[in-house]
Structure 1
Amino acid sequence: MLKLCRTLHNWLGLILVVQITLWFLSGLVMAILPIEQVRGEHLRQTAAVQWQQAGVSPQQVLQQHSAHASLSLSQRLAWQNNQLSALPVYLVEEGNSLSRYSAVDGEPLESLSEQNIRQLALAQYSGNSEIVAATLLQQLPQEVQHLKAPLWQLQFNDSEHSRFYLDPATGAVTRVRTDSWRLFDFLWMLHIMDYQDRSNFNNPLLISFSAAALMFTLSGIVLLWQRFRPRKRRPALKASSH
């Protein structure tokens, strides 16, 4: 039994050594990286929505749609008097279509122009660099693959290669991506062993390696116990009488 346990432990160690090292390394680096920096919060400025400005009720907006439409609260950013402000907006989803209405006067809102998007991106950017590219994306890259297209991508020429992703209708930054985030995302991929979407924490490869790592640990405990378990002392032989 002990021979089988030792053989299993040795083979599992050879198979798992690389992945166990990656688990520890990726976990250590992800724990060291400040999550605020990973999310790019230090590069982003926000504005609070002033809902007291709303002059139209949600019921008035929903009257223009069918009974299957759903309404949620949103916002639209504006740059006025050298100040970033957020106007209240009603977002109506009906089937596959999205409609936005000003909560102030109930008027439909059209998508912002590229000039507006550039202005709002700079207003929400707390760094000192300039925009080098602005692209309206219909197909999203891997780093924002779980969001809905279209999105504006604004690239800045800073040291972190920052990219802001803005909603074309509201002008709000939905995601910030930097080199810190890309490093964290790569390590997260190695950690959960999802090399495609980098989001499936229940993939078979991770489950298999985790089960093998548990067997490796348990077999190691058995071998350790066998080596250091208390030994029964043999009774001392009495000196033979002459």
Structure 2
Amino acid sequence: MNKNFVRKAHRWLGLIFSLTILMSAGSGVIHNVMTRTQAPPPSARPSGQGLNVSQIQMGVAEATAKLPEAAQGVSAVNVRSIGGQPWYQVYLNASRSAQYVSAVDGRVDAAQDEAYAKEIASAFLGGAQVEKTDFLTAFNNEYINIFRILPVYRFDLKDELNTRVYVSTMTGSVTRHTDDGRQFEARIFTNFHKFGFIPNKDVRDFVLTTLTFATCVVSLSGIVLFFMTRPKKRQMP
């Protein structure tokens, strides 16, 4: 193998793909900054002011019978405190969304899902008034797939930071808490580390794989060049 060719290839490939290495290093710096400036993901915790079980006047079987689709099967039932009243949150085999049946009088009310989400968001933010601004059934640029849970409601707090929280009624918890400052850091990290500025995932994955492979070639050529150019041992007379 020609020593000069390896040296030139290493030099030019290193120059061409140095931007990738710089962006990877930059994302590492931003990641360390984010671990200091951003709180860890919010932990799941029961919502509401507690459940008054003495208010429950209807059993699970009687409540689920109020739902015609229940004949096809029930996958899960939770008891939720919403507006100070106990409600059965029912997941049916025939539907992905939760159904709500009052444990007091058997009323069926789908609007309780949003009301429950709003209570979770408000309790998480210390009782503050929040406004629903979105309902996500797919991930987007802010609520990305690392947060895993869908669907979620987004609620905004009208403050200086533009605080917003994402809420899952399935888990009964806030799945993401962010604001403009935190999102600015997260956007830099996503663009540097994952090339988030490329909207198409297939194209993004192809570019990331190609550039990562190229940096491996640069590193490998440097190792080869080291052994090719190292001084030879002087033989003893």
What SS class does the counterpart of residue 101 from structure 1 fall into? strand
Partner of 1:65: 69
Q: 1:214-225 maps to which residues of 2 (within 5 A)?
A: 214-225=216-227
Whether 2:134 is the aligned partner of 1:137: answer: yes
Quote the Cα distance in structure 2 between the aligned partners of 1:188 and 1:86.
42
Alpha carbons 1:78, 1:120 under 8 Å: kept: no
Inter-CA distance 199–27: structure 2 relative to 1 (3 Å threshold): farther
Partner of 1:239: none
1:186 Cα deviation after fit: 3.1
Alpha carbons 1:77, 1:172 under 8 Å: kept: no
Quote the Cα distance in structure 1 between the aligned partners of 2:63 and 2:113.
29
Higher helix fraction (1 or 2): 2
Inter-CA distance 75–30: structure 2 relative to 1 (3 Å threshold): farther
Partner of 1:8: 9
Inter-CA distance 200–177: structure 2 relative to 1 (3 Å threshold): farther
1:3 Cα deviation after fit: 1.5
Alpha carbons 2:142, 2:183 under 8 Å: kept: no
Alpha carbons 1:48, 1:86 under 8 Å: kept: no
Inter-CA distance 180–150: structure 2 relative to 1 (3 Å threshold): closer
Unaligned runs of 5+ in 1: 237-242
Partner of 2:233: 232
1:192 Cα deviation after fit: 1.9
Normalised to the residue count of structure 1, the TM-score between the two structures is: 0.66
Quote the Cα distance in structure 1 between the aligned partners of 2:11 and 2:66.
67
What SS class does the counterpart of residue 144 from structure 1 fall into? coil
Partner of 1:28: 29
Inter-CA distance 191–117: structure 2 relative to 1 (3 Å threshold): closer
CA shift digits 1:65-110 (9 cap, x unpaired): 1766663455645354xxxx98652222535x63413484664233
Quote the Cα distance in structure 2 between the aligned partners of 1:79 and 1:13.
62
Match of 2:197 among 174, 195, 198: 195
Aligned pair count reads 224
Inter-CA distance 39–162: structure 2 relative to 1 (3 Å threshold): farther
1:138 Cα deviation after fit: 5.6
Partner of 2:174: 173
Inter-CA distance 62–200: structure 2 relative to 1 (3 Å threshold): farther
Quote the Cα distance in structure 1 between the aligned partners of 2:86 and 2:183.
27
Quote the Cα distance in structure 2 between the aligned partners of 1:208 and 1:76.
49
Quote the Cα distance in structure 2 between the aligned partners of 1:170 and 1:212.
43
Normalised to the residue count of structure 2, the TM-score between the two structures is: 0.68
Letter of the structure 2 residue corresponding to residue 64 of structure 1: P
Deviates more, 1:12-21 or 1:142-151: 142-151
Quote the Cα distance in structure 2 between the aligned partners of 1:188 and 1:142.
9
Q: What is the aligned-residue identity percentage?
A: 17
Partner of 2:45: 46
Alpha carbons 2:195, 2:208 under 8 Å: kept: yes
Quote the Cα distance in structure 2 between the aligned partners of 1:88 and 1:19.
52
Quote the Cα distance in structure 2 between the aligned partners of 1:201 and 1:52.
53
1:14 Cα deviation after fit: 1.1
Unaligned runs of 5+ in 2: none
Inter-CA distance 9–51: structure 2 relative to 1 (3 Å threshold): farther
Letter of the structure 2 residue corresponding to residue 91 of structure 1: Y
Partner of 1:208: 210
Quote the Cα distance in structure 1 between the aligned partners of 2:66 and 2:94.
10
